[in-house]
Chain A
């Protein structure tokens, strides 16, 4: 059986994992620090991620056909490597649990206020597991298919240009200062999580020996521009004070539109947005599986197990009043594991090279 994916499929795997629930509330989050320059923050975050992607591609070039879990074992040895992989596993489950909590909260507030949270969780996890159980090629195909919806989303979002827009809101450019913009881009990076799927999925790309940096860059460029576009639209569509107060400005923006045929475009947008949000969950479940095993049957068992874990975590987090503390720990812990550790691994790979030839697999 050949489970390899093509380069375009990898592109969509990255993009679909990155774009998710984070975007909906992103504009107001960055705006609170970067003010009118929030859109610059997004571009800066994109640039920072691009640097990281270069590290990723260098690392992966040294270890073709190997996922991050193979690389850690190879560099750290079996015991430490497995321990590191376990940490990754835990983080993937935590991130999935966190994402699903936000997801359920959002649906609960905007669409289905009466439906109990456990039911929503069950529906999301159910569909998530169902797709994550398949091999990567099936997942990728689904992602590619549903990516058509991005076009639809962009199309719907252009309707906002009929609203009253004030470009003056973002002027004068650079007013908020560099430090605030950096703060804003930090928040953006958290909303852009998902690029790390590369470390696991790139191994399954045909001919991955050749540099994949172009695919990575395209994906990153697309996501950055997509985010910047929506942030920009929110910045000029709302007054700064309103943007600060609205929780999900990307959705709220659509409340100002009405047509003879369509009304409440925010709900239509959200209904479509559910697919990228679910795709994110699927990706993380899949990552969780791949981080501990390469064997398909144990992978399936692990997916079931992780799915249950994510469900329980989602239930627990949903019952909590505030998950801010949890969010902080997970976000920074995760950032360290996907940014600092791969970088260390890359450096370590140089040391290793002197001892024995790597990448000859």
Chain B
């Protein structure tokens, strides 16, 4: 039990003393999760918009597929991405294995279904009468799309936060594709796994608290944005 309280003290110490290894892992985590969340938002929001906005044949089946993909296990994604990125795989020449962009590819795959699914729900739950009102005010197609997106902004944001949480806390992809290489691809979560394997439970707890601190900072800035808009 005592390693829990030790962990609190150690977490503070790591952040305060500017521990180089910890900051390297923080940097890797923030870098790779921002990268993957940007890619998944840029690709996912338009797709989610289409899925929520338009009615087409097979919409329900597409929705079921997207919802199922939300349950993709991270280790499985890691394995699939490894198969493509290994030297002897189809993308081997790009040397992406054991790099941060390699991890980001896997995490984008992880986040994409969440962004698409939750964006579609957000768009669907906007008021349908609003569309009629906007059209009657003489809006063109582009203005109509933009206003629907704007109306759904809180739902879209919730989706983005959910996806960000999943990406930042996953360990399977980072371990399999990144390899937990010190100073390079060691993220906070793979560092926790390593410290636990080494029996340094206090250090593991400390790093977990560091990760929570980052998540807290992200959410504080997001809720600040939400209050303004």
Are A and B interaction partners?
no
